Structures are given as C-alpha cells and as structure tokens.
C-alpha cells in the first residue's frame, strides 16, 4: 500500500484541528466551574434571562455541567493524538453529538429558554456534529496519524 498523498491527509489534518479547537475551547469550562456565584447571577441578568436561582442546587448543577464540558474537552484533545486508533469512536461520537444537539433543542424548549438561546445552542451542536462526521468520513483509513 502506498503512502497517502498530501490531499488524502487533508481531512485527517482538519479533523485533528477541529477536535483540538473544540476540545481546547471546552477546557475553558473548568474556569466557569470555579466562577464566583455573583458572577453567575450577573451574567444571567446581563443576557436578559430571568434571575438565576440562588439556591445551592442551581449552583451545583451549573458547576457540574461546566466540569462535564471541561472533561469532554479533555477527551476530544486526547482523541487528536491518535486519530487512526480512535477512528470508530470519533465516528460514533459525531453521530452522538448530532443527537445531543437535537435533544438540547427539545430540552431548551421544554425549559422555556429564549428562542435565540435554543437555536444557537442546538443548531451549533448539530452543525458541529455534522462537520465532525463529514471530516471523519473523508479520512482515509490507511493514513498515518495526523
């Protein structure tokens, strides 16, 4: 089998760049987990949303969600270290991200979130999953690690 051409390596390179970009961005969520409570309430109000519930469970859920996003970001960065090894996982993850976007939209609507929030969150997640899926499908399985 011959070595892949530069054109054949391009989707894997872009998949690696994309996963790294999303992963490192998600790592920033760790900072939100440590954010002071008054920042959370101020940010919520500045976005024109209803007042943030200042009860322990609300802060608990917000911080734990931030931790979860941070850990997901770390996982994505890890996957970029060996795309060929994790190829099947990345493909499955891409489909899961698309499903996540759909479910986010449903939950946001049920929760009464503003339409701009619902569309921004769910549509961007779906598009992100579609980009990941497209790049994954265009990676040649005989490629060497990106």
Mean pLDDT of 79-96: 93
Q: How far is CA 85 from CA 20, 28, 80, 99, in A?
A: 16, 26, 10, 24
Residue 69, CA distances (Å) to 13, 30, 42, 88, 136 in order:
24, 8, 21, 22, 22
In this prediction, residue 142 carries a pLDDT of 44
- Answer yes or no: are the C-beta atoms of 145 and 16 closer than 8 Å: no
Neighbours of 89 (CB within 10 A): 12
Does position 40 have pLDDT exceeding 70, yes or no? yes
Average pLDDT value over all residues in the chain:
89
Q: What is the mean pLDDT of residues 61-72?
A: 96
Total residues belonging to the chain: 146
Inform me whether the pLDDT recorded for 108 exceeds 60.
yes
pLDDT classification of 144: cutoffs 50, 70, 90? very low
**Confidence at 104, pLDDT banded by 50, 70, 90:** very high
| Mean pLDDT across 40-54 | 88
Q: pTM here?
A: 0.82
Residue 48 pLDDT level (bands cut at 50, 70, 90) = confident
Q: What is the pLDDT of residue 112?
A: 92
Find out whether 104 and 125 touch, Cβ atoms under 8 Å: yes
Place of tokens 């101020």: 42
């Amino acid at each position: 089998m011959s070595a892949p051409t530069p054109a054949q390596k391009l989707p894997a390179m872009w998949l690696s760049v994309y996963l790294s970009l999303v992963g490192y961005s998600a790592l920033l969520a760790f900072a939100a987990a440590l954010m002071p409570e008054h920042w959370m309430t101020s940010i919520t109000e500045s976005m024109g949303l209803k007042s943030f519930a200042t009860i322990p469970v609300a802060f608990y859920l917000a911080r734990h969600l931030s931790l979860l996003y941070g850990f997901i970001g770390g996982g994505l960065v890890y996957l970029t270290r060996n795309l060929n090894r994790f190829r099947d996982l990345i493909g499955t993850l891409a489909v899961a991200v698309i499903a996540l976007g759909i479910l986010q939209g449903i939950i946001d609507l049920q929760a009464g979130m503003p339409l701009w929030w619902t569309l921004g969150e769910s549509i961007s997640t779906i598009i992100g999953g579609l980009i990941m899926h497209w790049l994954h499908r265009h990676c040649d399985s005989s490629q060497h690690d990106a």
